Amino acid sequence: MKRKLVLVVLAAAMLLGATGTAVADIRLDFDIPVILAAGLNLSDVTGNTSQSVDLSGSHIPLPYVELAYQFGDGFIRGGVGIRTYTLLVEFMGWPMGYVELELDRLILRAELGGFAFFLLGIYNEFYVNDYTLKVMLPDFQVSYAFAPWFRAGVGAILIVPAGNFDNFGYLLYINARFALTWK
């Protein structure tokens, strides 16, 4: 039941966005963040302690791909879509929405995702339960745009499980982002 509810809400948001704007783009982002500091394990996301991985001392690249429907064409824009992290043969992702403010070459980005999670690859699973519906993943970035399609910057992603702040987590990172848009 909850899976259907999440899918209906996402479909309604996409439909309202499609009818609410005449200027919209499909946007595909390839981002390569390198972790600087972390206080996180995967049990924070899945609720399953057998899948814990401590990333605290790791300074590894953690690439992800974002596919979004983008609204706006000026200095402020937003979008809704899906973010997926790639771990060689496994993908982990969630639905998200974002807002970007572009001040000349400085780009400020706020993103909110979570509420449902999926794994694709060797292990396939879709997580929508009482735990995941309460997990929010805000991400904040400050970037410098070297070109319309390339930017580099710093950011922080948080794991905020509503009602259970014992599992709060964070990642601080530097990143390089390639952003491609199509009308």
- Per DSSP, the residues of 61-107 read B--EEEEEEEE--SSEEEEEEEEEEEETTEEEEEEEEEEEEEETTEE
Contact between residue 154 and residue 142 where contact means Cβ atoms under 8 Å apart: yes
* Token reading at 139: 């991400």
- pLDDT tens, position by position, for the chain (183 residues)? 556 555 555 555 555 455 444 557 899 999 999 988 887 555 545 555 555 555 666 777 888 999 999 998 788 999 999 999 887 788 889 999 999 999 999 999 999 998 888 888 888 888 777 777 778 889 999 999 999 999 999 999 988 877 665 567 788 899 999 999 988
Q: Which fold has domain 2-182?
A: Porin (2.40.160)
- pTM comes to 0.75
Q: Is 115 left (phi over 0), alpha (psi -120 to 50) or beta?
A: left
Domain boundaries, the chain: 2-182
